[in-house]
Structure 1
Amino acid sequence: MSNEYSGGQQPNAGVLVSTMNDLPGFRVERVLGEVFGLTVRARNVGSSLGSAVKSLKGGELKGQTKMLVDSRLEAMGRLTEETASRGGNAVLAMRFETSAGELGTEICAYGTACVVSPA
């Protein structure tokens, strides 16, 4: 069951992604280098105004939350696509970096692409 306000890697993904620096039970055969997936998203004017009004009285900005979840999933998808295109089957030390600017919110997923095999 999927929740529109959360996410993560699907169990059947072709590229294993870990926030750890190693993978217990696996051996790193080759390090392919740094990979990243990037997206920049902007909210529409109506949604931004709604969020501004909501922020005055407090509470979760569900539209913003949904946008950030979608952005992280898109960045993660680009990260795993790049890893697979280089011949990798895992990303180690994956991190997200988020920054907000005048034009929108930037989400970057990055890590180290590797080829791993069971130990």
Structure 2
Amino acid sequence: MTEILITTTEHIPGKEYEVIGEVFGLTTQSKNVFRNIGAGLKNVVGGEIKDYTNMLTESRDIAIDRLRKNAADMGGDAVVMMRFDSGSIGTDMQSVAAYGTAVKFI
């Protein structure tokens, strides 16, 4: 797969392109029960819960990879206006979506 440029801006300096359409990448992740117990204990004393931070970082990376694949499958060269959205599902799952607009260079 050709590397797909991803940008949060609307315009790519020096590039002309046509819009192909909306693209997205989605993942839902969960930590195992033992890590959830550790996170619950950390919640009592406060501070960063590194297992959840790592889980969200991994989720973000997976969502971006899937976004790139979606854009490539549509024949795109880049994704503009990329954004993230995330939310909890239940008490121990997190969903992350990366979305934007696929474009083809002219």
TM-score (norm 2): 0.93
> CA shift at 1:116, angstroms?
2.2
| Counterpart amino acid of residue 39 in structure 2 | S
> For 1:83-102, what aligned pairs fall within 5 Å after superposition?
83-102=71-90
| Counterpart amino acid of residue 26 in structure 1 | K
Identity of matched residues, %: 39
| Counterpart amino acid of residue 62 in structure 2 | E
SS at match of 2:16: strand
> For 1:54-93, what aligned pairs fall within 5 Å after superposition?
54-93=42-81
| Counterpart amino acid of residue 54 in structure 1 | K
After superposition, the CA RMSD in angstroms is 1.2
> CA shift at 1:24, angstroms?
1.2
Q: Deviations over 1:20-65 (max 9, x none)?
A: 011111111x211000000001111111110010111111111000
Give the alignment partner of residue 20 of structure 1, picking from 9, 32, 45: 9
Report what 1:6 is aligned to.
none
Give the alignment partner of residue 53 of structure 1, picking from 41, 45, 49: 41
CA distance in 2, matches of 1:52, 1:115: 47
Q: Structure 1: which 5+ residue stretches go unaligned?
A: 1-12
| Counterpart amino acid of residue 90 in structure 1 | A
SS at match of 2:96: strand
Report what 1:9 is aligned to.
none
Give the alignment partner of residue 114 of structure 1, picking from 98, 103, 106: 103
Tell me the number of residue pairs that the alignment of Structure 1 and Structure 2 aligns.
Answer: 104
The yes-or-no answer on 1:105 pairing with 2:74 is no
| Counterpart amino acid of residue 65 in structure 2 | G
Q: Deviations over 1:73-109 (max 9, x none)?
A: 0000000011011110100000000000216111000
SS at match of 1:26: coil
SS at match of 2:38: helix
